[in-house]
Copies of this chain bind each other. A is one copy, B any other.
């Protein structure tokens, strides 16, 4: 009961038409708008098979067909080629990203750009600390018992945290602490720091032991365990396109999911293979997002991956175009990061 070429062509046509018109597509309209070379009746037979196999469905009897999640999946995997970007889009990307002065700036511009180009919700993960190295650690005395710990990563990320010391530490000792910490940790990948930090505490002169212990706790806690990951979001207004037809009428669950950083990270952060990932409908693990699809990929300077980015939209989305845009933006961002 395999699908022959024509049936696949029919599925492709259904997906394309439905994506662009947002209305169930019938056999007659199909043969009119695509050169299938057969009659509506034949198409109907094919449709019956496609429906039986779960690739399309009828919203109600006597309506046209609509792709199922499974249908989109087949379409993405086997029936579509990634669209090349238009020159206008390429230009838009370049224009948007030049002139960024900051990592913050880069991330914000990227997320807005992505939202604008795809007309969907865009999500960009800041370069993951776990995948970054320490460039420099700075200790700034705020008072005798308080330090501001500032860590600068090679990806440009800067994290800070207030440290309450157990006892007053003179300025000279702070200098020592800073020097020691930098000697041991500068250049180390953050994921490798725990043992180094451990060693650091032990090597330190006894009069600094207390301060260094506190410091190391904070270091590990802040940089390795806690919020660690940051996310930027843009384009939520795009959810309202397609007038409530997408997302079965309620934006509620989607908006709720978008507020959860953990959810977003799961969606775009898992970049094991450095390829583009497409999650269609209920392929993702969150009930709130059953009506949505996510296209995501990793980015980073050169071939390494330091974070993820992607977009979220209705299952009825232009997959080839979206995939192309997401990839292109990721590549440009990578180049931008490589320059710094």
Contacts and interface: CB of A to CB of B under 8 A. Distances in A.
Interface string A300-340: 00000000000000000000000000000000000000001
A167 interface: no
Contact of A136 (B140, B158, B235, B239): B140
Contact of A162 (B150, B162, B234, B340): B340
A252 B243 CA distance: 10
A252 B136 CA distance: 44
Nearest to A157: B160
Contact of A255 (B102, B138, B236, B340): B236
A250 interface: yes
Contacts of A105: 227
B156 A158 contact: no
A135 interface: yes
Contact of A158 (B150, B239, B256): B150
Interface string A138-162: 1010100000101010001010111
B140 A152 contact: yes
14 contacts: A102-B160, A102-B162, A135-B140, A135-B142, A136-B142, A136-B148, A138-B150, A142-B152, A148-B158, A234-B259, A236-B258, A240-B251, A240-B252, A240-B255
Given A135-B142, A236-B258, 18 more contacts: A136-B142, A138-B138, A140-B152, A142-B152, A148-B158, A150-B150, A150-B152, A150-B158, A158-B158, A158-B160, A235-B259, A236-B236, A237-B255, A237-B256, A240-B250, A240-B251, A240-B255, A251-B251
Interface of A: 101-102, 104-105, 135-136, 138, 140, 142, 148, 150, 152, 156, 158, 160-162, 222, 227, 234-237, 239-240, 250-252, 255-256, 258-259, 340
